[in-house]
Amino acid sequence: MVAVSPPAKVLITGANGYLATWVVKMYLDAGYSVRGTVRSQSKSAFSKEKFAHYGDRLELVTVKDITKDGAFDEVIGGVDVIVHMASPFHFKAATPDELITPAVRGTTSILSTALKQGSTLKRFILTSSAVAILEFPWRQRVFTEENWNSAALEAVKTKGPAAGPLNIYLASKTLAERAAWEFVDVHKSEISWDLVVLNPPYIFGPSLSAAPTVDDINTSQREVYDTLVGVRTGKQLQTQAHWVHVTVAAEAHVRAAHAVGAGGQRIIVRSASMYYQEILDAAAELGIPNVPRGEPGSMKDVPYGSVLESTKAEELLGLTQVTPLKDVVAESVEDFKARGYAGFAA
């Protein structure tokens, strides 16, 4: 398919989210025009003010319920790229439908509209997640784009609500992505655009979003905050996680629009691994006061239990950067201070 370059118009759903706000900024910085969707006009006020200097290259529109048929009918006209990012991300769901329904229906709703009205559309970029690839507990060491998280699907299928909030979230991302690939396969003779799916792990780094209180922190970045304020303790600090810096994840979304070879690909966004203890070790190295120390250096030479293979991100998107964890901790602490979060008074 033909790659898309500025000054093309990009539709970004959930445009006021943690990662999405960075994606909006990077598309605008690259010379694109952006139409972003939000759930209400009150949700758009912060973004309108923050990005006012881009003038009429940024348009924010309201889509109240992304699960409804035709929810995107009024916003898709004239766009060259769709970046679908709007999907719930939290570990608080009491029932599978609470997360799975909006994740899957939101995806199929906008794909259906793209099929009907996407006459100018050239590329559809879906933000999935590495959790649609990884299986917990890890059953193998190296995970690639060929893997799917069947364990979470089986847990939700057999246990329902008893599968727990984590498995429900993992299943929601897996099912939403599968629905996208199945939609494109069924309608391949009818569509003139291609699908790119990006699978980032936890996303860390400073926020551009309105997050006035700790409770407003994105679920990924909340992992950093909770570790630094001592919510994670003991064996929890020995847990491994995969992560990527928010600017790298956002850059992947921009490059996915103009990288010709990305069409039809599922791409693990370039990532790194860590143990939560390493966040505390980085904080100690930086001299950040009032941060718990855990067991300093205890995970330094412990091999990681799994690896996310990100060769595609390097070859197709040219992403080679891995941000040092120490830089992420330093940037995050500065962001927490600026926002006046508990434990990080300026």
Query: Per-residue pLDDT for 317 more than 80?
Result: yes
Mean pLDDT, to the nearest integer, of 174-190?
Answer: 97
Q: How does residue 119 score in pLDDT terms, banded at 50, 70 and 90? A: confident
Q: What angle do CA 302, 204, 81 make, to 5 degrees?
A: 125
| Any domain includes 163 | yes
| Any domain includes 164 | yes
pLDDT tens figures, 250-285:
999 999 999 999 999 999 998 899 999 999 999 999
What 3-state class would DSSP assign to 115? helix
| Any domain includes 344 | no
| Any domain includes 268 | yes
| Any domain includes 4 | no
| Any domain includes 342 | no
| pTM attached to this predicted model | 0.95
Least confidently predicted of 77-86, 110-119, 133-142, 238-247: 133-142
Residue 120 tokens read as 């100018």
Q: Which residues contact residue 198 at a Cβ distance below 8 angstroms, ignoring those fewer than 6 apart?
A: 125, 126, 127, 128, 249, 252, 253, 256, 267, 269
Q: How does residue 139 score in pLDDT terms, banded at 50, 70 and 90? A: low
pLDDT (0 to 100) of residue 47: 86
Strand 58-62 relative to strand 240-245: parallel, antiparallel, unpaired? unpaired
Pick the residue with more confidence: 245 or 211?
245
pLDDT (0 to 100) of residue 1: 59
Asked if 325 and 279 touch (Cβ cutoff 8 Å), the reply is yes
Number of domains within the chain: 1
Residues composing the chain: 346
Query: Per-residue pLDDT for 321 more than 90?
Result: no
Mean pLDDT, to the nearest integer, of 134-148?
Answer: 86
User: Which amino acid, 76?
Assistant: I
Query: Per-residue pLDDT for 332 more than 70?
Result: yes
Query: Per-residue pLDDT for 3 more than 70?
Result: yes
Q: How many CA atoms lie within 13 A of 69 on its CB side?
A: 1
**Domain enclosing residue 43, as ranges:** 9-337
| Any domain includes 309 | yes
Q: Which residue has the tokens 């300026």?
A: 346
Return d(Cα 266, Cα 246) in angstroms, integer.
Answer: 19
Least confidently predicted of 133-142, 201-210, 284-293, 332-341: 133-142
Helix, strand, coil percentages in the chain from 3-state DSSP, rounded to 5: 45, 15, 40
Q: How does residue 2 score in pLDDT terms, banded at 50, 70 and 90? A: low
Mean pLDDT computed over every residue of the chain: 93
pLDDT (0 to 100) of residue 105: 92
- CATH number (domain holding residue 90): 3.40.50.720
| Any domain includes 343 | no
Q: How does residue 134 score in pLDDT terms, banded at 50, 70 and 90? A: very high
pLDDT (0 to 100) of residue 206: 96
